Every structure is written in C-alpha cells, then in structure tokens.
C-alpha cells in the first residue's frame, strides 16, 4: 500500500515535470516568459485531472485540489468585496483622506455619518467568530433577513403572483374567424391556428390543475382529485423537459474542460 | 429597420444630388433654401410632472417629426432644452467656491498636525557646531507656515459658514428666479433622445446640495429640437410651460400589488388567529411524509442508520427552515425506535439550530440520554467537499434511508445517484425547481417545491404554519377564479378587466 | 452535414477518426446492452468512460451542424438588430467559471452584435467571479476585435458590486449611487456614455446573462418589471425552463444553453458573414453535444429495457 | 437585548422595504438600506474567510484526519488574499481594477480558480449520464410521462431530431421532433413552471411576512446563547 502510493506520486510528479518541459519548449517561440507560461498551463491541467480523478474514487489529488479551491475562492470573494464595495462605495462616503489614499473620488454629504451604521453592523457580524460575543451577530443577521423579507414580499407578490396571474389571461380561440374558416384551413402545422389554440388551452388548464395539485387544505377526491392528477402529470412533463434541457448544460461544462485539455495543454487541436 | 443608418445616408445623398440637379435649372438662391431646408419640428409637445415619483422630474411627450428617419434632412435625434435663469449660475459659483473652501480647510487640517510634529523634530535636533552656508534652518519656515495656517483656518471656516448661508438662501430663491421667464435666462440642453423616441424624462436630484438639484413647485419651460446629421440644421418645437414638478405620496401604478398585499396579510392574520384559537385545519397527507415512518421502521429492522441532509441553505432560507421542522419529527421517531441518525451540516449556523432541534426531539421522545453531540456535525462550507464527504459517509455506513430536505444545488444529482448506488430508500424535498427533476428521477419519494413547506406545517402542526398554509390555499383559489375570469376577458377582449391587473411603473 | 472546411488529407484523417470513435461508442453501447440483458451490473465508471469518449471524440474530429434560430432566440436577435445605432444596451455577466462554457458563447455573441451595430454597451456583474471573466472577454472580444471602440464612449465596464438583489434595487433608480466610478476608478460623470443615463430607466435594452442566483430571475423581479425597458436573457440550460413563464411578457426572448448560443450565432453570421472567422464556439460545441445526447438517450433506453426484463423475471418467479 | 432587538430590527427594515415600494418619498430610505446591505454583505465574505481560517487552524492544532490538507487550504487562502488586498503585480497600481490583466489575482483566477471550479461542475456531466442509465426508469405512470417528455426534449435539442422527422410535411410540422420540443417548452412546461412558481412564490411571501412580524425566529439560532 505505502509503496504503491509512493509510486503513483512519483509518476504524477514525473509527468508534471515532463509536461512542463514540453509545454515550455512549445511556448518558447511565442512568449518570453515561456517557463512560467508552461508551468501555468501544466498546473491548471494537473488541477483539472486531479478533480476528474474523483470519478474513479476519492483520492489525495482530488482532496488537494478541493482544499486549494476552498481557500482560494474564500479569499477571492473577500478581496473583490473589499475593493469594489468597501473602497468603491463606503470609503468615499466616510473619509476624505482615506479616499485620497485609495484614489477614489470623495463624495461629501451632510448625512454621511449614517454610513458608519453598516460598518458597526458588519463588525458585529464578525463577532460571530468569538464564542462569547457571538450573539452580537444577530443584529446584522436580523438586518439582512429584514431586508430580504421586505424586498421579497413585494417583489414576489408582483412578479411571481400578480404578473403571472395576468399572464395566464390567454384567449382560448386564437385568431378566431368562425368555424368555417377554422375547419377549412385546419392543419397540424407548428405555426397553425389549431396548435396555437391547443397550446393556450394546455397553458390555462395546466396552470389551474398544477395549482390544484398544490392545494393542501382540501382532500383530493372526485373532480378535485382528477384535476390534481392532471396537475401532477403536467408537473412531470415539466420536470422531464427540465431534465432533458439540463443534460445539454452539464455536457457543455465537460466540453469546456476537455477542449482546454486538448487545445491549451496537449495542443491536439487549434 | 435593417441598415437604418445606411438608408438615412442614402436619403441625404439623394437630397444633395437633387439639389445639385436643380442647380442647373433653378436660380441659385432657391437652391440654398432647398439644401438647408430644416426638418419638420416635433408637434403636440406636452410636459407634466413625472408620475409616481418623489418629485424632481418632468415627463415630456411629443409626436415625432415628419422627417424622423426619413424625408429630406432626416432627423437623427431630438435635443431637449429647458429655460434656465442666469441665477442658477450664481448658485453654481457659490457651490464651487464652497467646495473649494471645504477642500482648503480639509487640507489645512491634515497639514497642521504633521507640520507641528515636524517642527518638534527640528526643535529637538541640535544646531550643528560650525554653520555651513548650505545649511538651511527649516524651523523658521515651519514656524511661519504654521502660524499662517493657524491664522487662515478660522478665516476659511468663517467664509464657509457665510457660503453655506448664501447657498441656503439661493436654493430657496430658485422658484422665485424662474418666474422672471423669459428675461434673465437662456435655453439650455438637458438631454437628448434618439430618433424614433417620442418621450423624455427630465430627472433632477432631490438633494438640495447636489449640483443638478431640481426644485419642486417651480415653473419650468421646455422646448424640443429636431436635429439632423448637421447639428446646425434643426427645427425647434413650440415652447411648453410653465410646468411644475411635485412628489406623489402614493404610487398609483402599483395599486394591484398593494391590494394583493392587503388581501394576503388579512388572510394570513385571520387564519393564524383562527388556528391559534384551536380551529382544526385539515392538511392533506403527503406521500413523501407518510413514507418517512415506514422508512424509519425499515431502518430499525435492518439495524442501519438514517442519513438526514439539510442541504446548502442558510438558516434564513425558507427551505432550510421547513427542513428543521421535518428533522425534528424524524429525530423524535428515531429516538423512539432507538435507531442511529446522521446529520452532516454545511453551514455552521444551520448546524447549531439543527443540534437544538434534535436535542429537543430526543427530549420529547423521553430519551434525552440517548442524545449525543455528534449526531449533528459540521463538515465544510464548500459545496463539493461537502458532497464528497457525504458520499463517503453513504458508502461507508450504507444508511437504510437518505433524506434530502432543504435547499440543494448542483450537488443534488451526485448525492441522489450515490445514494441509489448504496441501495438506500431516498426521500427528497426541495424548493429549488432546477434540482427537482434529478430528485424525482433518482429518489423514491420527492416533495415538490411548496410541498416541502406544507410538510413542515403538516408535521409541526403549529397553528402559525397551518394558518399561513390555509391563507396560501385561499390565494391559490383566488388565482384559479381570476384566471378563469381573465380567460373570458381575453376571449371576449374585455380589456377593462385585464387592465385591472396591469402594474405600471 | 459533416464539416468539409478541411484540406484533403485532413478530411480523410478526421473522417477516419470519426468512424473509429463512432464504432467504439456503438460497440460499447451494444456490450452494455448485452450485459444488462443478462441482468449484470455495469460499473458506473464504465458509464463515465463512455460519456468521456462521446464528448472527446467530436472535439478531436469536429462535426458541425446547421442551426436555425427558433422564435424565442430570433426575437432577441431582432431586438438588438432593429434598435437604432447608439442605443444604450446593458450586458450583465452574472456567471462564474462553473457555467462559463455554457454562457460565454452567448456573452461574446451579444457583445459582438452590439458593437457591430454601434450600440453603446454597459458591462456589469453581480458575481465577483464574473468580473474576472468580464476582464478576460473584454480583452478578447472588445479590445481585441474592436480596437477603434473607446472605453467610456462606446462601452464601459462597471464591474462587480456586492449585495446581489440590493445592487439592482439601487441602480433601478440611480446608477451613480451604486457605481460612483467604473471598474478603473473613472467617475461616471466624466464618461460620455453615461451623459443621459441616470438609472436603468434610461437604457434601451437590458440583456442579463447568467444561470445562478442572483441571475435573470432577480433582474426580472428588481429591474425588468419595474422599468419599462425591454429585457432579454441568455441563461444556462439548468435554469432556462424556469424562466419560460416570464416569456414573452416579462422577457422578450431567451437563449437557453449552448443551443441558444448556437442559434444566435447562426443568425449573427447570416447577417454579418465576416464574424464567421472570429469563431462560433456555440455552433462548434453542438457536435460533442449531439453525440453525448445520443449516448445519454441510448443509456435511458438500455436502462429501461433491462428494467423491464428484470421485472418480468420477478413476475415469473 | 439578545432576542428583542433583532426582532425589532427585522420588523423595521422589512416595513421600510415594503412601504417604500408604494410610497415614493421613502425610496431614498430604501436605497440607503440596500447600500447598507451591500456593505454588510462584504463583511459576510470576511466572516466566511474567518470561519475557514478558524476551522482549519483547529484541524491543524488537533491533528484531525487529513490535517495536512488544511495547510493547502490556508496556504491558498493567504496567498490569494495577499494577491487581492495588496493588488500584487497589478499594472494599474492601487487605482486600477483588482482584476486587471496581469495582476496576480487575475493570474491565479485564470490558472487555478477557473480550472478547479469548472472541472468540479463538469463532473456533473458524468453523473447525469449514469443517472439516466440506472435511475431513469419507467417505474409508474408519472415516471413514464417524465421519461417521454425528457426523451422528446433530448431529441429535439439535437440536429438528429430534425433529421429523423424532416420528412413530415409542413401541414403536420408540429409532429417534427424539434417543433414538438418547442411546443412542450412553450405550453406544458410553461404551465407547470408557472404553477410551481406561484406556489413557491406564495410560500416565500408568507414566510417573509412571518419573518417581518417576528413569528418565525429560527434564523436567530439557539435560544441559550
């Protein structure tokens, strides 16, 4: 066991060096820091393969990549937040000298002192790190929750309730010019009238039955039960569609990675 | 619409060629008239206060110029002008000098302490024995400058106070100044609109101290110029005004939402109070939840543990909150059956809450001593590290039942897949619609979206939850009825009804 | 159907490659079918291997297909195409490397189209990771392909701000409160592109590109529904189906996944043929996509066949 | 102090957010709250980083399982943080965007962060495949419907769908797989999604209401602390 791990490690290390050398030589003509360039590409290829190795089983290489990612992403978000929002939005409102230091335009204003409130709340949030004063963090937490609750309450009522209800107001007979006209040019063409009409019917009945399925305070019996059964069928079509649609997305991610390996690392394709 | 600019160019070209052609025939003066013929001005220009805002804005509407994007000297853009009294320049200069002074003061304030510090240093430093000519004694210099700045500072502050005073007065006089129209003022451009655009909103700032502060209750006058490719060739509209801006107290464009808010709040409060009074509110059984008890029984028979995954949500996510209630119920049963429960957590806060829920459940079941801290444990706050860890647990412990309740993202499929591999019965529930298909495919029972919330009400039996669930059901009933009515309205194009639901602004 | 844009020896080579890989995949599927008919478990790693081959082969030996823009995509294209030059378009890059392969092609297509039309483009993002990607694609697409376009005049990069929905909640009425400067510290007031723009109300078109939270849904809830500015979206396939209820009332069009991108690109190269050599990643990705889809469908069929057989066996016993 | 103040804060902020939606004069207040939120959000990032440090330092101290990897995490964290906060190697200096081309932050992002994250999600492609092989079974009527819908979409999203059914005449073109896929997305899928959306929307709304009114307090965490 010990030996085998050592062998694997050695092999991976060897391959890494090899790829570094090859990549650098191929880059030598292109850029002057070709050693660094080679290292960069090789390293990211190594990380890619390390993650993919998880498919075989959880292993030290995967763990290494995983842990590296955790550290880096946390730090990345921190620094971005600091430069864009703290320096970009807070400092210009708090202090002229600091703004000068960070070279951001100072925004004078007579009510700027209120912008100390988020700073204080933010520091309280950081107190969660101490077990003794952790409860201070509830104040900013309450602020966050309050903001979200308030925003969501009205925005959802508007966009996902009122707007959706009114969006369901569809005419059942699209471009209706009498039975004769309907029958005479009846067709199953995708752009035809019949298909459009059926579509609207499905939308209307589908929404109604779907909502009936989500009725909890009434037993699903009789006509109500039938409607809810239709509802679940509609939902199943929905989920089937989502599944089919999603496969494409998942594959794309793989395409992206394999393209990287073949093009940037192995130079197999242009 | 395609290649519009090209068309325009073509027209201009035609215009020139035409005029060139006429040059031979017609006398010269008429030619010039033709070639610099201004476009048709905009018509029906109206100006009124911007609706449903806090004031400080005027909305302009007009009929497009006849030459908009066509005809001779086609109009490429519209320039909006407002009559501005020269008084505003005075205000502006006050503003500028005020800011200038503020800057000086700030500079002095930062300079003084530094200079004094430096001076102290010089004072401490001994004068060299033999005085070389080059040696400059900066002490003197610093003493002077410090003295000077100390003298200047109060002056500046005084000046600042004075300027502030003036600005305040000046701002108050803005409406007065506008009454002098059309004397002591001039037209100034406040914005442009692209060709084809027949409206413009002149939005000012409501902070009085801001440079582009726009006073309410002031007589404004507007004019719109139709401008051609050559900015010199333009046509001004007739002047509109006086028009005043003022703030509205209520956004009438959002009345439908407001009504919805009121109705929903009333429903919720009504049913919560009813439920608190002990009214029996029925909740239909959910297959997924019914399955829980059997699953726990099965686990007990097999002597295998039960894995409960709370997902990636925070303690403030609805899905997670619902999941806590379900966890409580599950933990109670588990305690009764004396089965093993495993709850790996992603979020530290969620973990603390979950620990209490489980502890309380064991207490309810009358087995507080069976509870131990490690039932609920923190794994890591990284999506895929968490998945890897939970997968490992699944394949090691081979739990009889896996429950995924809460907020899940891309990891849902990996979890469910591995669970299926481990041959466990899987019960899932999430409000993340994108993940539902995977759970439905790979799990035995799935709580779909709102069912998750309902489940917590069904299990928790808390009057609050039951009450709000009932309120939601009534809201749904309303949706069905309205949809039916709307259907009729749409079919008989009965627009009055449909407009009731249109939310503007 | 097959790509003939190769010189003669290459055609032969790539064709051989295609044939071989297809044979490998087909044979393998047959083998899996037989195994499952015998009710033998197929190790998931073999399944994994298959998907890898199915995706890798068409990347090595490209297969390209024709795409025709569907209405839901066409509407977006037509909107960009028909708006007068100089319209102000906001492009939101709300995605991270995890979905970049899916939505980056759309982002590039949108950027190219807008710049070709002479629109003024405002770039921003609600994802910290989005800003890094934004920098890359600005370097590649905007500065690389349109060197004559000026920063602050023809386009501007506002970058990232923390706060998700709350950022939108501010810019809906005031850009400068949230973005006093652009990403390089240039005050918005000193940029000509923001002369007539105070808030989102003053834009002519908003295109949100995303696939997570915050994403298009947030844009609809906080911006699209509040200001009457036409809004389009390009999203990862995972979230596309959920956004259909917003179409066409709240979203004028929607690009879903690589297919959406490919359709848009096909329309783009139809109108601007010179963009063809700039690369059409979406169209190129459809080859691997198609093969992988076939394999997945084959898996579904095989899985069900074996399922029914095993069920019959149980009944017999 | 520990429970009442948070409840009051939630209530006040929530009310401001709701009323400012209908009362224009309050818009300014709402915006300030939003800006506060944005700033606090950054501190939340810091909290995340702090938590990470704490957990992994503990792991190191206690020599817990895999403690060696904690060094990797901490190393990555510290290097990236230095690169980011000090703008190391940023050609534009302190004023420039932190993600300027050539800055160390951007380099690490491109060559470490990007491959790591995108590969992690690329794993999903494999799991989708294996799920469709072992789990995607027509167990009952519902599952069958789901399966058929998925199959049509899968086919319709690829050029093969067109090839297979191109022979169908225009007058029956809805039966062509791509059109069928489009129709499914536009009608049944839309209906189902809308039903779910309305349901979840109502759930969100009533939860928000409960949070604002202080009926729902789970987010405050444990009672004792």
DSSP conformation letters of C44-89 = HHHHHHHHHHHHHHHHHS---------HHHHHHHHHHHHSPTT-EE
Name the residue of chain B whose CA is nearest to D143's CA.
Answer: B441
Q: What is the CATH number of domain C71-278?
A: 3.40.50.10160
Q: Could you check whether the bond before residue C252 is cis, i.e. omega within 30 degrees of 0?
A: no
The DSSP secondary structure of C122-139, one letter per residue, reads EEEES-HHHHHHHHHHII
Select the residue of C47, C98, C157 nearest D118 (Cβ to Cβ). Answer: C98
3-state secondary structure of C280: coil
Select the residue of A81, A164, A258 nearest C162 (Cβ to Cβ). Answer: A81
Angle, CA of B293, B298 and B299, to the nearest 5°: 100
Q: Do A247 and C187 touch (CB under 8 A)?
A: no
Query: How many pairs of residues across B and D have Cβ atoms under 8 Å apart?
Result: 132
Mean of pLDDT over chain D: 89
Chain D: give the shortest CA distance to residue A58, in Å: 13
Surface of D (112-141) touching A: CB under 8 A:
112-126, 128, 132, 141
Mean pLDDT, residues B277-303? 87
Rounded to a whole number of angstroms, the distance between the first and last alpha carbons of chain A is 42
The DSSP secondary structure of B160-206, one letter per residue, reads HHHHHHHHHHHHHHHHHHHTTTTSSEEEEEEEEEETT--EEEEE-B-
Instruction: Please tell me if residue D144 touches chain C, with a CB cutoff of 8 Å.
Output: no
Query: Tell me: the pLDDT tens digits for B144-189?
Result: 888 888 888 888 889 989 988 888 888 888 888 888 888 888 898 8
All structural domains of chain B with their residue ranges: 36-86+184-243, 89-178, 287-465
Query: Tell me: the pLDDT tens digits for C86-141?
Result: 899 999 999 999 889 999 999 999 999 999 999 999 999 999 999 999 999 999 99
Rounded to a whole number of angstroms, the distance between the first and last alpha carbons of chain B is 28
Asked if B177 contacts B90 with a C-beta cutoff of 8 angstroms, the reply is no
Residues above pLDDT 90, as percent of chain C: 57
Name the residue of chain D whose CA is nearest to C221's CA.
Answer: D201
- The radius of gyration of chain A from alpha carbons, rounded to an integer in Å, stands at 30
Chain B: give the shortest CA distance to residue D125, in Å: 10
Instruction: Please tell me if residue B421 touches chain C, with a CB cutoff of 8 Å.
Output: yes
Q: Which CATH number does the domain B36-86+184-243 belong to among 3.40.50.2000, 2.60.40.10, 3.40.50.1110, 3.40.50.970?
A: 2.60.40.10
Select the residue of B192, B434, B504 nearest C242 (Cβ to Cβ). Answer: B434
Instruction: Please tell me if residue D207 touches chain B, with a CB cutoff of 8 Å.
Output: yes
Query: Tell me: the pLDDT tens digits for D191-215?
Result: 999 999 999 999 999 989 988 998 8
Name the residue of chain B whose CA is nearest to C241's CA.
Answer: B434
DSSP state of C238: T
Asked if B245 contacts B56 with a C-beta cutoff of 8 angstroms, the reply is yes
Chain B: give the shortest CA distance to residue D109, in Å: 17
Select the residue of C84, C198, C201 nearest B194 (Cβ to Cβ). Answer: C84
Contacts of C317 (CB under 8 A, 6+ apart): none
pTM score of the predicted model = 0.86
- Reply yes or no on whether the pLDDT at B248 is more than 90: no
Surface of B (310-369) touching A: CB under 8 A:
316
What residues in A contact D32, CB-CB < 8 Å? 114
Among the listed residues B164, A79, A6, B431, the one whose alpha carbon sits nearest the alpha carbon of residue C242: B431
Query: Among all chains, which residue has been given the structure tokens 């190191």?
Result: D60
ipTM of the complex: 0.87
All structural domains of chain A with their residue ranges: 2-96, 109-167, 172-265
Select the residue of A74, A125, A248 nearest D40 (Cβ to Cβ). Answer: A125
Q: Give the integer Cα–Cα distance in Å for B219 and B388.
A: 69
Name the residue of chain C whose CA is nearest to A168's CA.
Answer: C245
Surface of C (82-141) touching D: CB under 8 A:
96-101, 129, 131-132, 134-136, 139
Instruction: Please tell me if residue A267 touches chain C, with a CB cutoff of 8 Å.
Output: no
Q: Do B194 and C225 touch (CB under 8 A)?
A: no
| Tokens found for residue A124 | 């309280």
Surface of D (155-184) touching A: CB under 8 A:
157, 170-176, 179, 181-184
Among the listed residues B311, B322, B307, the one whose alpha carbon sits nearest the alpha carbon of residue B449: B322
Chain B: give the shortest CA distance to residue A16, in Å: 25
What residues in C contact D178, CB-CB < 8 Å? 70
Chain C: give the shortest CA distance to residue A268, in Å: 7
Calculated CA dihedral for residues B344, B349, B350, B355, nearest 10 degrees: 70
Q: What is the pLDDT along chain A (270 residues), one digit of tens a residue?
A: 578 889 998 999 999 999 999 888 888 887 778 888 899 999 999 999 999 998 888 888 988 998 899 899 889 999 999 999 999 999 999 988 888 888 888 887 778 899 999 999 999 989 988 878 878 888 998 999 899 899 989 999 999 999 898 888 888 777 777 788 778 777 777 778 888 889 999 999 999 999 999 999 888 888 999 999 999 999 999 999 999 998 888 899 999 999 999 998 988 887
Which candidate in C196, C200, C256 is best for mutational testing of the B interface (most B CBs within 10 A)?
A: C196
Select the residue of A166, A241, A254 nearest C241 (Cβ to Cβ). Answer: A241
Mean pLDDT, residues C219-244? 92
Query: What is the structure's pLDDT at B4?
Result: 53
Asked if B426 contacts B402 with a C-beta cutoff of 8 angstroms, the reply is yes
What residues in C contact B5, CB-CB < 8 Å? 84-85, 118
3-state secondary structure of A160: helix
Select the residue of B52, B414, B442 nearest D24 (Cβ to Cβ). Answer: B52
* Helices and strands counted in chain D (H then E): 9, 0
Query: What is the structure's pLDDT at A13?
Result: 92
Select the residue of A52, A114, A244 nearest D157 (Cβ to Cβ). Answer: A244
Query: What is the structure's pLDDT at A110?
Result: 75
Q: Do B264 and D135 touch (CB under 8 A)?
A: no
What residues in B contact D120, CB-CB < 8 Å? 383-384
Query: Tell me: the pLDDT tens digits for B188-246?
Result: 888 888 887 888 888 887 777 777 788 888 889 999 998 887 888 888 888 887 888 88
Asked if B203 contacts B163 with a C-beta cutoff of 8 angstroms, the reply is no
Among the listed residues C201, D123, A101, the one whose alpha carbon sits nearest the alpha carbon of residue B410: D123
- Helix pair angle (C281-316, D141-156), 10° resolution: 150
Q: Give the integer Cα–Cα distance in Å for D17 and D96.
A: 35
Select the residue of B261, B283, B434 nearest A157 (Cβ to Cβ). Answer: B261
Q: Do D159 and C135 touch (CB under 8 A)?
A: no
Q: Give the integer Cα–Cα distance in Å for D191 and D184.
A: 10
CATH class of the structural domain B287-465: alpha beta
The DSSP secondary structure of B409-465, one letter per residue, reads -THHHHHHHHHHHTT-EEEEEES-GGGHHHHHHH-SEEEETHHHHHHHHHHH--HHH
Q: Give the integer Cα–Cα distance in Å for B87 and C114.
A: 43
Task: Report the DSSP pairing between strands B220-228 and B240-243.
Answer: antiparallel
Q: Do B420 and D124 touch (CB under 8 A)?
A: no
Mean of pLDDT over chain B: 83
Chain B: give the shortest CA distance to residue D167, in Å: 32
- Helix pair angle (A193-213, B463-491), 10° resolution: 160
Asked if B149 contacts B106 with a C-beta cutoff of 8 angstroms, the reply is no
Instruction: Please tell me if residue A249 touches chain C, with a CB cutoff of 8 Å.
Output: yes
Query: What is the structure's pLDDT at C240?
Result: 93
3-state secondary structure of A133: coil
Chain B: give the shortest CA distance to residue A52, in Å: 12
Q: Give the integer Cα–Cα distance in Å for D25 and B206.
A: 10
Question: Residue A1: how many CA atoms within 13 Å on its side-chain side?
Answer: 0
Q: In what order do the strands lie in the sheet with B306-311?
A: B376-378, B341-345, B306-311, B401-407, B425-430, B445-448
All structural domains of chain C with their residue ranges: 8-63+281-316, 71-278
Query: What is the structure's pLDDT at B23?
Result: 44
Mean pLDDT, residues B390-397? 88
- Reply yes or no on whether the pLDDT at B18 is more than 50: no
Architecture of domain B89-178: Orthogonal Bundle (1.10)
What residues in A contact C165, CB-CB < 8 Å? 148, 151
Among the listed residues B431, D216, A259, B376, the one whose alpha carbon sits nearest the alpha carbon of residue C287: A259
3-state secondary structure of A68: helix
Name the residue of chain A whose CA is nearest to B99's CA.
Answer: A108
Asked if B4 contacts C84 with a C-beta cutoff of 8 angstroms, the reply is yes
Query: Tell me: the pLDDT tens digits for D5-52?
Result: 999 999 999 999 999 999 988 888 999 999 999 999 999 889 889 988
Instruction: Please tell me if residue D86 touches chain A, with a CB cutoff of 8 Å.
Output: no
Task: Report the DSSP pairing between strands B43-49 and B57-63.
Answer: antiparallel
Among the listed residues A186, C230, A191, the one whose alpha carbon sits nearest the alpha carbon of residue D182: A191
Neighbours of B273 (CB within 10 A): 12
Chain C: give the shortest CA distance to residue B447, in Å: 18
Q: Do B483 and A172 touch (CB under 8 A)?
A: no
What residues in C contact B50, CB-CB < 8 Å? none
The DSSP secondary structure of D168-189, one letter per residue, reads S-GGGGGGSHHHHHHHHIIIII
- Helix pair angle (A193-213, D190-212), 10° resolution: 40
What residues in B contact A66, CB-CB < 8 Å? 382, 384-385, 388
Instruction: Please tell me if residue A224 touches chain B, with a CB cutoff of 8 Å.
Output: no
- Dihedral over Cα of B412, B418, B420, B425: its sign: negative
Phi, psi of B371 (to 5 degrees): -75, 140
Surface of C (8-67) touching A: CB under 8 A:
45, 48, 51-52, 55-56, 59-60, 62
| Tokens found for residue A189 | 């063409």
DSSP H or E segment with residue D133: helix D114-134
């Amino acid at each position: 066991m010990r030996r085998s791990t050592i062998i694997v490690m050695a092999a991976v290390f060897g391959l890494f060096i090899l790829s570094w050398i090859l990549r650098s030589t191929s880059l030598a003509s292109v850029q002057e820091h070709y050693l660094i360039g080679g290292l960069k590409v090789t390293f990211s290829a190594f990380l890619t393969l390390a993650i993919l190795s998880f498919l075989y089983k959880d292993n030290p290489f995967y763990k290494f990549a995983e842990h590296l990612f955790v550290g880096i992403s946390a730090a990345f978000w921190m620094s971005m937040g600091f430069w864009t929002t703290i320096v970009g939005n807070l400092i210009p409102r708090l202090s002229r000298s600091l703004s000068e230091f960070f070279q951001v335009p100072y925004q004078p204003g007579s009510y700027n002192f209120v912008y100390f409130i988020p700073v204080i709340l933010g520091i309280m949030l950081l107190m969660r790190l101490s077990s003794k004063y952790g409860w201070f963090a509830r104040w900013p937490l309450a602020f966050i929750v309050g903001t979200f609750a308030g925003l969501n309450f009205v925005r959802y009522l508007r966009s996902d309730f009122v707007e959706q209800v009114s969006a369901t107001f569809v005419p059942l007979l699209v471009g209706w010019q009498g039975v004769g006209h309907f029958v005479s040019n009846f067709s199953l063409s995708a752009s035809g009238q019949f298909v459009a009409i059926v579509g609207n019917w499905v939308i209307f009945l589908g929404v109604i039955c779907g909502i009936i399925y989500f009725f909890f305070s009434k037993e699903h019996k009789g006509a109500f039960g039938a409607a809810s059964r239709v509802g679940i069928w509609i939902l199943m079509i929905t989920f089937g569609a989502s599944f089919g649609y999603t496969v494409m997305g998942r594959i794309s991610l793989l395409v992206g990675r394999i393209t990287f390996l073949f093009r940037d690392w192995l130079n197999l394709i242009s | 619409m395609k290649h519009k600019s090209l068309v325009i160019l073509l027209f201009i070209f035609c215009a020139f060629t035409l005029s060139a052609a006429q040059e031979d025939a017609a006398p010269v003066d008429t030619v010039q008239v033709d070639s610099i013929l201004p476009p048709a001005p905009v018509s029906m220009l109206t100006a009124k206060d911007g609706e449903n805002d806090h004031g400080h804005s005027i909305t302009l509407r007009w009929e497009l110029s006849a030459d908009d994007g066509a005809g001779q000297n086609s109009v490429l853009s519209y320039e909006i002008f407002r009559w501005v009294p020269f008084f505003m320049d005075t205000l502006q200069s006050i503003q500028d000098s005020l800011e200038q002074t503020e800057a000086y003061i700030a500079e002095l304030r930062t300079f003084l302490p530094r200079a004094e510090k430096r001076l102290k240093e010089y004072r401490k430093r001994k004068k060299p024995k033999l005085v070389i000519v080059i040696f400059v004694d900066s002490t003197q210099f610093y003493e002077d400058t410090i003295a000077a700045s100390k003298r200047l500072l109060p002056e500046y502050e005084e000046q600042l106070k004075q300027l502030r005073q003036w600005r305040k007065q000046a701002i108050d006089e803005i409406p007065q100044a506008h009454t002098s129209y059309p004397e002591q003022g001039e037209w100034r451009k406040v914005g442009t609109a692209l060709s084809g655009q027949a409206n413009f909103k002149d939005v000012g700032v409501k902070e009085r101290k801001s440079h582009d502060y726009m006073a309410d209750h002031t007589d404004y006058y507007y004019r719109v110029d139709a401008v051609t490719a050559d900015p010199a060739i333009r046509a001004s509209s007739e002047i509109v005004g006086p028009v005043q801006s003022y703030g509205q107290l209520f956004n009438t464009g959002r009345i439908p939402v407001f009504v919805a808010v009121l109705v929903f709040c009333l429903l919720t409060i009504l049913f919560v109070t009813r439920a608190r009074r002990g009214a029996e509110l029925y909740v239909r059984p959910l297959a997924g939840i019914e399955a829980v008890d059997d699953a726990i029984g099965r686990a007990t028979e097999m002597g295998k543990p039960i894995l409960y995954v709370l997902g990636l949500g925070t303690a403030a996510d609805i899905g997670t909150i619902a999941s806590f209630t379900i966890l409580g119920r599950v933990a109670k049963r588990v305690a009764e059956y004396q089965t093993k429960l495993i709850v790996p957590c992603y979020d530290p806060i969620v973990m603390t809450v979950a620990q209490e829920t489980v502890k309380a459940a064991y207490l309810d079941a009358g087995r507080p001593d069976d509870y131990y801290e490690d039932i609920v444990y923190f794994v890591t706050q990284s999506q895929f590290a968490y998945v890897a860890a939970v997968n490992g647990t699944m394949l090691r412990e081979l739990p009889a039942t896996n429950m995924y309740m809460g907020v899940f993202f891309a990891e849902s499929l990996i979890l469910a897949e591995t669970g299926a591999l481990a041959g466990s019965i899987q019960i899932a529930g999430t409000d993340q619609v994108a993940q539902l298909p995977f759970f439905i495919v790979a799990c035995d029972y799935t709580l779909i979206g709102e069912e998750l919330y309902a489940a917590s009400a069904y299990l928790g039996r808390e009057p609050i939850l039951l009450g709000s669930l009932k309120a939601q059901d009534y809201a749904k009933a309303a949706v069905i009825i309205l949809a039916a009515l709307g259907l009729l309205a749409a079919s008989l194009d009965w627009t009055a009804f449909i407009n009731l639901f249109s939310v503007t602004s | 159907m097959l790509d003939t844009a190769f010189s003669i020896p290459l055609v032969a080579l790539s064709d051989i490659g295609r044939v071989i890989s297809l044979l490998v995949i087909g044979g393998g599927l047959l083998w899996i079918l037989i195994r499952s008919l015998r009710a033998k478990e197929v190790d998931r790693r073999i399944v994994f291997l298959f998907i890898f081959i199915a995706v890798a082969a068409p990347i090595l030996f490209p297969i390209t297909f024709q795409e025709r823009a569907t209405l839901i995509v066409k509407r977006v294209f037509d909107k960009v195409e028909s708006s007068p030059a100089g319209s102000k378009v906001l492009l939101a890059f709300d995605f991270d490397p995890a979905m970049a392969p899916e939505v980056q092609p759309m982002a590039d297509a949108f950027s190219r189209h807008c710049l070709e039309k002479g629109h003024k483009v405002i770039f921003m993002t609600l994802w910290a990771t989005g800003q890094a990607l934004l920098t890359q694609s600005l370097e590649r697409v905007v500065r690389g392909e349109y060197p004559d376009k000026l920063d602050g005049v023809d386009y501007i990069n506002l970058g990232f701000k923390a706060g998700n929905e709350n950022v939108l909640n501010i810019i809906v009425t005031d850009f400068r409160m949230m973005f006093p400067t652009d990403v390089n510290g240039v005050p918005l007031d000193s940029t000509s592109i923001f002369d007539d723009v105070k808030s989102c109300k003053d834009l002519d078109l908003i295109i949100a590109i995303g696939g997570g939270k915050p994403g298009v849904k947030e844009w609809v809830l906080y911006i699209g529904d509040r200001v009457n500015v036409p809004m389009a979206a390009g999203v990862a396939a995972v979230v596309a189906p959920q956004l259909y209820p917003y179409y066409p009332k709240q979203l004028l069009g929607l690009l879903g996944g690589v297919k959406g991108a490919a359709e848009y690109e096909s329309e783009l190269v139809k109108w601007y043929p010179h963009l063809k050599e700039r690369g059409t990643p979406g169209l190129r990705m459809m080859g691997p996509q198609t093969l992988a889809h076939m394999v997945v469908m084959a898996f579904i069929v095989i899985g069900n066949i074996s399922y029914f057989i095993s069920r019959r066996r149980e009944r017999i016993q | 102090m520990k429970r009442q103040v948070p409840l009051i804060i939630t209530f006040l902020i929530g009310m401001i957010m709701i009323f400012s939606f209908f009362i224009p004069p309050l818009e300014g207040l709402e915006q300030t709250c939003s800006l506060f939120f944005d700033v606090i959000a950054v501190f939340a990032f810091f909290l995340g980083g702090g938590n990470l440090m704490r957990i992994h330092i503990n792991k190191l101290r206690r020599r817990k399982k895999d403690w060696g990897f904690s060094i990797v995490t901490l190393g990555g964290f510290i290097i990236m943080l230095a690169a980011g906060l000090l703008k190391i190697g940023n050609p534009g200096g302190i004023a420039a965007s932190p993600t300027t081309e050539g800055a160390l932050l951007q380099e690490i992002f491109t060559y470490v962060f990007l491959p790591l994250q995108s590969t992690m999600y690329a794993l999903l492609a494999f799991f989708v495949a294996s799920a469709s092989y072992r789990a995607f079974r027509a167990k009952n009527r519902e599952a069958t419907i789901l399966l058929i819908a998925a199959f049509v979409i899968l086919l319709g999203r690829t050029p093969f769908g067109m090839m297979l059914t191109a022979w169908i005449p225009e007058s029956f073109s809805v039966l062509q797989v791509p059109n069928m896929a489009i129709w499914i997305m536009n009608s049944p899928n839309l209906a189902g999604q809308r039903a779910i959306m309305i349901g979840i929307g109502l759930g969100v709304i009533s939860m928000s209401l409960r949070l604002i009114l202080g009926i729902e307090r789970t987010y405050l965490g444990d009672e004792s602390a």
